[in-house]
Amino acid sequence: MGRQRVPGGPHGPRQGAGGGRPVPGAHAGVHPVADVVVVGAGIVGVSTGFNLARLGAGKIVVLEREGVAAQASRLSAGLVRTHYSNAPEARLALAGLKWFENWAELVGGEVPFWRTGLLNPVAREDHDKLRRNVAMLQAVGVETELIGPEEMVELEPAIHAKEDDLAAYEPRSGYADPGATTHAVAGAARRLGVEIAEGVEVTRILVEGDRVTGVETPARRVAAPAVVLANGAWSVPLARAVGVEIPIESVGVRLAFVRRPPDLRPGWGGHAVVLDRAHGAYTRPEGADHSLLGLSGARVPLTAPDRYDSEARPDAEFEQLARSQLALRFPSFAEAPVVAHRSGPIDITPDLCAIIDRVQPEGLYLAVGMSGSGFKKGPAIGQCVAEMVLHGESRTVPIPEFRLSRFAENDLIRGDVYSGPFNLVH
Ligand SMILES: Cc1cc2nc3c(=O)[nH]c(=O)nc-3n(C[C@H](O)[C@H](O)[C@H](O)COP(=O)(O)OP(=O)(O)OC[C@H]3O[C@@H](n4cnc5c(N)ncnc54)[C@H](O)[C@@H]3O)c2cc1C
């Protein structure tokens, strides 16, 4: 159960790669005709563009109102895990993991992915759920096993494990730099001829009869028979204007970065990703000397998706809570000095699972509502969407469970979700 560090670009704790800055005037050169327009250049949008190009879908234009990785895909915690409480998401996460593991072959270049392993301890009352979930995950092909306190301490000597503790362990999971990953995919897409236009906001989806005919931007129209919305919660008004109601709420999620306590190993791969369901806290290394802390499912409702900095800014109370919850598993984090913090937007659906679908009007595709776990799955979701656009259905992973109509049908994606001190998270 050793660790492997897969090299990638170092980034300090205050921000990931990528700035998300618009390129003034870039829109003037946007090609006026495309085979597919993708709205949004987060991990989902650039992965969709890249996979469309790989599959030979013709002229692909990705329109981004700010810059590549301007929003959630830069601000994310970047955990790459396959532990889920439902099979549809686990399949997508496993397909996503394969991208991180085979980056050079699939995307080209180096991947900023640290395979630290993932520890997923749960509360005593959730042991049966954990056993069922591990069996379900093994059945879908996830490499995972149940481990007890001795193995937990063997993996992470600084961990506090009670004698009846039980965790799932995934040796292949870890984390990646979200901004750098998104920029890497964008670069690969551009090398395949995808036009990614930054500083270009899509203001309207154009429809004639029952078919999509393109999009409108402030400077010009781009004609296209297929439009993929990959712009998170910002998709809601665009879709509503063409009669598609997307049930997404915007919430803010906060992270703190602390100086890593001396009883944990230093290094980018210094400690495992720990997702402690019993206490609702998670951590991963950040750089060589820091660790990232978050609270699973602790979310702040936003009045608009852009307002996370003003409405969900991490405060002293959050930082103290994150440290004290994590300290129930790693006692030395209780006093770890906070060196930075940030927040970001997530787009949650009623069952906390993505919407990946083709809808009416004909030619409109949705890849939105990632519900706070779309980074790891992004490359695989892009592949599924590209296949859906080109072949009518996803061939990589079955995705009918992610259809939009499940909400009206009351056929939500449900799993053996763990109890915990905060909101539910799969
Ligand atoms: C703090 C935090 C921690 C997270 N931790 C994890 C994690 O550990 N693991 C994980 O897998 N996921 C995590 N997530 C979730 C993950 O980051 C997101 O699900 C994922 O990045 C979403 O990607 P996206 O491409 O759908 O959206 P985004 O990255 O938000 O991209 C959408 C893009 O669309 C653009 N846009 C919006 N409207 C328009 C328009 N009209 N025209 C043109 N462009 C437009 C925006 O500018 C934006 O760049 C976390 C998220 C946050 C905020």
The structural domains of the chain, with segments of one domain joined by +, span 26-74+179-248+351-406, 115-172+249-348
Distance between CA atoms of 224 and 275, rounded to whole angstroms?
43
Distance between CA atoms of 388 and 398, rounded to whole angstroms?
11
Ligand 1 atom nearest the C-alpha of 44 is 25
Identify the architecture of domain 26-74+179-248+351-406 in CATH: 3-Layer(bba) Sandwich (3.50)
Task: Tell me which residue has its CA closest to atom 41 in ligand 1.
Answer: 202
Distance 13 CA to ligand 1 centre (A): 19
CATH of 115-172+249-348, one of 3.30.9.10, 3.30.365.10, 1.20.120.80, 2.60.120.280: 3.30.9.10
What is residue 419's predicted lDDT score, i.e. its pLDDT?
Answer: 87
Cβ atoms of 149 and 165 within 8 Å: the answer is yes
Distance 218 CA to ligand 1 centre (A): 23
What is residue 24's predicted lDDT score, i.e. its pLDDT?
Answer: 45
Ligand 1 atom nearest the C-alpha of 375 is 11
Distance between CA atoms of 280 and 294, rounded to whole angstroms?
9
Q: Is the ipTM of this complex over 0.95?
A: yes
Distance 262 CA to ligand 1 centre (A): 33
* DSSP sequence for 255-321: EEEEEPPTTS--STTSS-EEEETTTTEEEEEETTTEEEEEETT--EE-SSGGGHHHHS---HHHHHH
What is residue 298's predicted lDDT score, i.e. its pLDDT?
Answer: 86
What is residue 351's predicted lDDT score, i.e. its pLDDT?
Answer: 96
Pocket test for ligand 1, best of 23, 61, 81, 375 (most atoms within 8 A of CB): 375
Task: Tell me which residue has its CA closest to atom 31 in ligand 1.
Answer: 42
Distance 347 CA to ligand 1 centre (A): 8
Task: Tell me which residue has its CA closest to atom 4 in ligand 1.
Answer: 76
List pocket residues of ligand 1, CB cut-off 6 Å.
39-45, 63-66, 70-73, 75-79, 178, 201-202, 230-232, 234, 253, 255, 344-346, 370, 372-376, 378
* 33's tokens: 């005709």
What is residue 424's predicted lDDT score, i.e. its pLDDT?
Answer: 52
In one-letter notation, the amino acid at residue 114 is W
What is residue 378's predicted lDDT score, i.e. its pLDDT?
Answer: 98
Distance between CA atoms of 337 and 8, rounded to whole angstroms?
26
What sign results for the dihedral spanned by CA atoms 253, 254, 260, 263?
negative
Stretches where the chain sits below pLDDT 70 are: 1-28, 422-426
Pocket test for ligand 1, best of 81, 200, 231, 282 (most atoms within 8 A of CB): 231
